[in-house]
Structure 1
């Protein structure tokens, strides 16, 4: 199997960490989806990463689908609970955290792709508001708990760590570490895991 992706995408990092935690080997094929000569559409018509290519050539996307597929490949370190209510809680947390990254990417594209005179500050503010609201919700739900859900690492923690790391990379002006020290405690704990250390994105 191989993952088509980039080193800075938080979605790619999420699935790479899941495979690492599951002790399942998978190759990484680097692809810049923004380059004119990108070939990602051959595997994913949406032109997005990550995309998982199975042994028989079938392609699986997006990150939520890949993470769920990977979790079923090995009994090691179950990351998505079997119980339907707990499963929904973990997947809802993942959706919230993915929403942070979705909003961040939209804000970043507005700032970096559109000419300055055409940029909409209202649009950027709306996306940044989504990020702040989500961070506040995450902090309130986490409270003083050691993990996002239950008493061990789950997909919720992995997704959270990837989003927080990406915010540090792309939006250092969002001072979430100061605002929400409980999120920072979780983040620092996740950084001690080999799966996170080995997938830390290069500096911008």
Structure 2
């Protein structure tokens, strides 16, 4: 399998962590989708990463679809429950974490996208997205409480998604003081960073 992505993308990192936890072999191909000479559309018509290209050339895209597929490839380290409320809980955690990343990325693009003049940027839009980020962090903290992991006592996709969101915020928004406001989230991220799958994929 070939994974097309960028080391700075939290969605790509989520897939890479799942692959490491599942002990799956793959080739990582870095792609800058913002470059004029990007070829991502030949694999993903939406022009986004991550994109997983199968051995037969078929492409699977959207990180949620990819990680769900990967979890079926090996019984090692099952990350998503197969059915019922437990499955819905893990997928909801993933949706929450992805939503925080979605909002943060929209805020960053509005503030930094090179093809937009400063006069065209909307601070109101940025503020709206950052409210979503803070509300998402608050919900994460409340949901985690004093549990060792987001969905019980074992690592799951819930923790991987949340860890990727928190790691990306530290990378791109160091001014957001979420660690002091939500110390249980900081404790979770520190614990996750002890795992090689997280340490080896720190955004850069």
- Which stretches of structure 1, 4 residues or longer, exceed 6 Å deviation after superposition? none
The equivalent of 1:124 in structure 2 is 126
The equivalent of 1:172 in structure 2 is 174
Structure 2 residue 37 is the aligned partner of structure 1 residue 37: yes
**CA deviation string 1:131-165 (max 9, x = no partner):** 00000000001000000002100001001111100
Q: How does 1:41-190 map to 2 (within 5 A)?
A: 41-113=41-113, 114-190=116-192
Distance 1:83 1:150, change over 3 A: farther
Q: Could you tell me how far 1:27 is from its partner in structure 2?
A: 1.1
Q: Gaps spanning 5+ residues in structure 2: where? A: none
Partners of 2:18 and 2:96 in 1: CA distance: 18
Q: Any idea what SS the aligned residue of 2:52 has?
A: strand
Partners of 2:60 and 2:151 in 1: CA distance: 26
Q: Could you tell me how far 1:115 is from its partner in structure 2?
A: 1.4
The equivalent of 2:24 in structure 1 is 24
RMSD: 0.6
Q: Gaps spanning 5+ residues in structure 1: where? A: none
Q: What is the total number of aligned residue pairs between the two structures?
A: 202
The equivalent of 2:198 in structure 1 is 196
Q: Could you tell me how far 1:83 is from its partner in structure 2?
A: 2.9
Partners of 1:132 and 1:115 in 2: CA distance: 27
- TM-score by length of structure 2 reads 0.98
